Structure 1
């Protein structure tokens, strides 16, 4: 599909603006959970998201007068890629492997991770070609094309398109998460200690507990 080049360029353009929660935010939103439990939650959410995208396009194919399906299909491919990109970036946060650099530099690295279906060991970044050159763009277009072609059956009339689209996206997202997570576990860094709670203004210390100052009668 000739349009895959423009889809790849669009993904490169939007990736740095996709909101990615850092480790501190994730630990705050999932209090008391360790990296494995948080990773499970992130994967479950991403799978649900890509299933929803696939079901939406599959359902559109069942309409009496379907919309412009090539446009619908490329929109699905970009939507799924964005969900999976966010998952990959946040899995790197969970396992203590946030890629250093600017938002665009991290986006380039995570797009490489999505394209290659591999996690990044930040201690060995020199082994990862994160330059967004012609080779990486070509590989990204090929991956987008393969994903799009696999989703073509969801557009076939008289098929249960919504169910097919959801199942295929669930399978592919879980497969991607499993591969990336395997690499990140092998290179996982220790979690930083949580900062201590700030001292309340005017509080007095008794042992290890903060106590409010006594009120004179």
Structure 2
């Protein structure tokens, strides 16, 4: 059984894990971890009373997120995921990361958090405070695409497009760490991203072409 299939093997690629995410939801629900930084004293007291009585906790908090180099203020529930905050709470919305599986298995919602790949559907928005977030929009624009984005267009590395932002984000981050990868290394780097259209060969070609171009990603 490979490491990918063995449930006893702990993945080092994505953090927070599903377990950490679920624990985070519990902490957010209790309100304790957020009391000092996000919740007013009145709300903190109400949260403590709710935990004692077993009543559900409701309410929103105002947080600031660093998204693609810009400070963005947003109001969210403490249970809101980073993906939903980006797509549904921010104005204007950041829609590059896609909501597909919503369970951390497809990679369509991949973003960079302090330079590390994370599934934004498994990260609470409040846990992203103080982190530098980069989405696919942060790598380039239609008028001025990055090396990876250009390579995806040139090598037809997309079909339906739902998985493309995740692949571009993953590959862009990987080429910063390994600017001259082999095909096998690119495949390994992309193992957390799933393409239902089966465009993997073109995706890998695009990654290798971007690396060969030697252009900053």
TM-score grouping bracket, smaller chain normalisation? under 0.3
Which structure ranks higher in relative contact order (CA pairs < 8 Å, sequence separation ≥ 6)? 1
Greater radius of gyration (CA): 1
Whichever structure has more helix as a proportion of its residues is 1
- After TM superposition, the score normalised by the length of structure 2 is 0.24
Whichever structure has more strand as a proportion of its residues is 2
